[in-house]
Every structure is written in structure tokens, then in C-alpha cells.
């Protein structure tokens, strides 16, 4: 939990309430899992085709529409929890109505406020229970809080109101699908209320258990764009925004600062090295650069990487095109400086596949390989720091997450 200590909080009380809501959710989850032992949760089935006599998979929508008094009861209990926790989130996050007031509505007041602040309508709950056999994304990847800020517009909310107010005539709406969507909504609201902060190194973050202890649902991993931007030197000074995951992943402020500083130092070294190269005074090399820039202008996919052009130029000077083929081949293959960058070098040596037709392409390719290695020599320090040493924090997007400059 993250607190603003300029305000007065009873931290222990909040943590106790968070644990209370979470425990109730887990109890409901266990009951739903037990229900799935008696009702096969699936959206497909198999049948034998009367013509071909082959087994084929067909839709099985009626399984999600299975209903009973027990399922209806679970739905009502789940939605009562949604009402309770959404109100707690409302009061904790700037709700203006008074606690205990009769005109506070969990959907049009509470969830509406949360959606305005955090865009919870876009957040996804992924069904991960191993004994649920859903194949369609619409049943595996849920956005259960979509339209939940409008009276009875979410599928589960409409079913809840119908079952609560007219159980007998609306019993069919207390079905498996409504229950799962309501559970997904309750799961997401608990995630926000618990407000857990996770940490990981970049290379390990994809191994995080994003179920956060649940058995039916998990969250999507947060998008790593905020990490990529830091590596690429993008000045990330604005608020960071999540999309379909409630969480944002970012470098810690200290790691971000180190990556930016290391990158700037590497780029300065790279710039100084480039300016010191004698080829910049050679007209033939300058002409090669101009031609490469023209190719990029005609086709932006053919990017001009200066070190690539430099190393191609150097290698072509060592293995000039005006030499006989056999002499070029000997110089090229026996050059220890370039040997590692010759494509499929073993095949060339063993099967004698270097020919007059392909040797120029191979020379250019080897030059590009050497240029890539030279380019990466300067970038390696900050890339290594970002990938291997960069410590990340995974925090809820509550509209206030950003890098400290």
C-alpha cells in the first residue's frame, strides 16, 4: 500500500480491511472452483459429424448459461462484496458523498469515480483456472468492469439486479457466465484495494505470478514501453499510463537515472570516436555515405548506420573489387579481423561456395557485422545496465506514476 503521509491514515485498519475483503474473495473463489467440479466450465464440446463420421468441435454456449439457486446465491454474494469494496475505494480516493449516506450507489457513484480516475473499464482479468475449459477469448479474457459505472449495463450487474429483485422469474440469469464476470470484477477491485507493489529485474519480470494469489484469475503483464523508452533515451517526463493491466512497470528512479547517465556518457564516447576517424576526410567514403543516405530517403527501411558504412568501406579497401576473384577470396577468407562476420563461413570454406557472383555481397555483409559490433561496443554499457542490472518496480496505475527527473 502506498500512502500520502501528509494526510492522517489508520494504516493498520486499512490493511486489515484489505485482508478481510481479499479473504472473502478467496472463499468465494474456492466455492466457484468447487462448483466447477460438478458443472463442466466450457464453451465448446465435441460431436460426430453425421456425414463424415469425424469428431469435430462445436460451440457449447449452453454450459455458460447453466443456472441454479446455488449459482444465483453465489452471484448475489459476490455482487454484495463488489458493492462493499467499491464504496471503500470511493471513500479512500476522493469520493465526496458522506459515508453512511443513503444516496451512494456502488455503480453510478463509486465505480464511476474509479473509472474516471483509473480507466478500470479497460482492465483485463484473464481466466487461468486449470479446470476451466474455455477456448474463446471472450470467455478467457474478460473486461468485467466495462459499463459497470452505468446502472445494470454490465452483464453481471444486470443479472445481479434481476436475481436480487425477482429471484423466481429471473433465476435463469443467475448463470455461470454472470458469476464468472462478477468474480472477475471483484478480483480487479480487490487488486486495487490491496495496492500491492511488486519488484523485479527487467529480465525476470515476465516470470512474475500476476495472479497475486488468486486461483481463477490473473492480470496481464504490464506493457514494457516505459522500460524501452528509458533504454532508448526517451525523456519520460509525463505521467505513465497503463492500458489493459492495472499495473505499470518502470525502472526505479535510481535505476532510471543511472541508465540515462550511462547512455549519455556512451553516446558522447561514440560521437568522439566517430569524429576521430580518418575516413571522414576521404572523398570516396563521404560519397558512400551520401549514397546510403539517398537510399534511406527513398526507402526509410534502409537506415543509415554510420559505423556499418565505415566498416563496409574499410573491408572493401582491404579486399578491393579490382583484384582477381581468387585473390579477393584469399584476402577475405584469411583475414582474422573479419573472419567471424562472414556469413556461413564453414560452408564457404568446406564447400567452396564463395563465387564471383556472391563475394561482394558477402564482403558487404561481413562489413555490416563488424559495424554492428563496433556500434554495440558503445551501447553495451547502458544496455547491460538496463537489462541485467536495471531494477524495476511494478505499481498500480492510479494516475500519479512517473519518473522523478
Give the model confidence (pLDDT) of 124-174 as tens digits: 999 999 999 999 999 999 999 999 999 999 999 999 999 999 999 999 999
Measured CA to CA, the distance from residue 126 to residue 147 in angstroms comes to 18
Query: Do 28 and 174 belong to one domain?
Result: yes
Residue 260 pLDDT > 90, yes or no? no
The cell for 41 is: 466450465
3-state secondary structure of 250: strand
Q: Does some domain include residue 307?
A: yes
Query: Do 127 and 273 belong to one domain?
Result: no
Q: Does some domain include residue 4?
A: no
The rounded percent of the chain whose pLDDT value lies above 70 is: 88
Measured CA to CA, the distance from residue 10 to residue 23 in angstroms comes to 20
Measured CA to CA, the distance from residue 227 to residue 250 in angstroms comes to 6
Residue 201 pLDDT > 90, yes or no? no
Measured CA to CA, the distance from residue 92 to residue 46 in angstroms comes to 49
Contact 366, 315 (CB under 8 A): yes
pTM given for the model: 0.79
Residue 53 pLDDT > 60, yes or no? no
Where in the sequence is the domain holding 78, given as residue range(s)? 11-199+210-219
At residue 338, φ and ψ (nearest 5 deg) are: -110, -5
Measured CA to CA, the distance from residue 153 to residue 230 in angstroms comes to 40
Measured CA to CA, the distance from residue 211 to residue 247 in angstroms comes to 12
pLDDT digits 0-9 by tens, 279-312: 999 999 999 999 999 988 898 888 888 999 999 9
Query: Do 169 and 291 belong to one domain?
Result: no
Look at the alpha carbons of 237, 238, 239, 240 in this order and tell me if their dihedral is positive or negative: negative
Number of domains in the chain: 2
Give me the pLDDT at residue 239, please. Answer: 86
The cell for 317 is: 579497401
Query: Do 62 and 115 belong to one domain?
Result: yes
Nearest to 183 by CA among 215, 151, 138: 215
Amino acid at each position: 500500500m502506498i500512502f500520502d503521509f501528509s494526510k492522517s491514515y489508520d494504516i493498520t485498519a486499512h490493511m486489515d480491511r484489505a485482508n478481510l475483503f481479499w479473504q472473502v474473495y478467496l472463499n468465494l473463489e474456492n466455492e466457484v472452483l468447487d462448483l466447477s467440479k460438478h458443472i463442466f466450465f466450457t464453451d465448446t464440446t465435441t460431436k460426430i459429424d453425421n456425414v463424415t463420421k469425424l469428431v469435430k468441435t462445436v460451440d457449447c454456449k449452453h454450459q455458460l448459461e447453466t443456472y441454479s439457486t446455488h449459482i444465483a446465491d453465489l452471484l448475489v454474494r459476490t455482487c454484495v462484496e463488489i458493492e462493499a469494496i467499491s464504496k471503500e475505494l470511493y471513500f479512500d480516493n476522493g469520493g465526496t458523498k458522506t459515508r453512511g449516506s443513503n444516496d451512494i450507489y456502488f455503480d453510478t457513484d463509486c465505480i464511476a469515480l474509479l473509472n474516471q480516475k483509473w480507466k478500470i473499464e479497460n482492465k483485463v482479468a484473464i481466466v487461468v483456472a486449470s479446470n476451466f475449459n474455455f477456448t474463446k477469448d471472450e470467455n478467457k479474457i474478460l473486461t468485467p468492469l466495462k459499463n459497470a459505472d452505468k446502472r445494470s449495463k454490465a452483464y453481471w450487474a444486470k443479472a445481479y439486479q434481476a436475481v436480487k429483485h425477482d429471484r423466481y422469474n429471473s433465476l435463469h440469469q443467475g448463470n455461470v457466465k454472470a458469476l464468472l464476470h462478477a468474480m472477475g470484477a471483484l478480483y480487479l477491485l480487490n487488486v486495487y484495494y490491496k495496492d500491492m507493489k511488486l519488484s523485479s529485474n527487467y529480465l525476470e519480470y515476465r516470470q512474475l505470478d500476476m495472479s497475486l494469489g488468486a486461483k481463477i484469475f490473473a492480470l496481464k503483464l504490464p506493457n514494457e514501453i516505459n522500460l524501452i523508452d528509458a533504454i532508448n533515451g526517451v525523456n519520460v517526463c509525463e505521467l505513465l499510463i497503463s492500458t489493459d493491466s492495472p499495473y505499470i512497470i518502470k525502472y526505479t528512479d535510481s535505476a532510471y537515472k543511472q541508465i540515462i547517465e550511462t547512455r549519455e556518457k556512451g553516446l558522447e564516447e561514440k560521437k568522439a570516436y566517430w569524429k576521430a576517424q580518418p575516413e571522414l576526410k576521404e572523398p570516396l567514403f563521404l560519397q558512400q555515405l551520401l549514397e546510403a543516405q539517398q537510399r534511406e530517403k527513398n526507402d526509410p527501411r534502409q537506415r543509415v548506420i554510420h559505423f556499418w558504412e565505415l566498416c563496409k568501406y574499410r573491408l572493401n579497401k582491404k579486399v578491393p573489387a579490382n583484384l582477381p576473384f581468387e585473390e579477393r577470396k584469399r584476402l577475405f577468407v584469411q583475414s582474422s579481423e573479419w573472419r567471424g562476420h562472414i556469413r556461413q563461413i564453414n560452408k564457404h570454406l568446406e564447400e567452396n561456395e564463395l563465387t564471383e557472383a556472391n563475394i561482394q555481397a558477402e564482403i558487404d555483409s561481413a562489413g555490416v557485422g563488424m559495424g554492428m559490433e563496433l556500434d554495440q561496443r558503445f551501447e553495451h554499457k547502458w544496455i547491460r545496465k538496463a537489462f541485467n542490472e536495471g531494477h524495476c518496480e511494478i505499481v498500480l496505475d492510479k494516475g500519479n506514476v512517473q519518473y522523478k527527473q
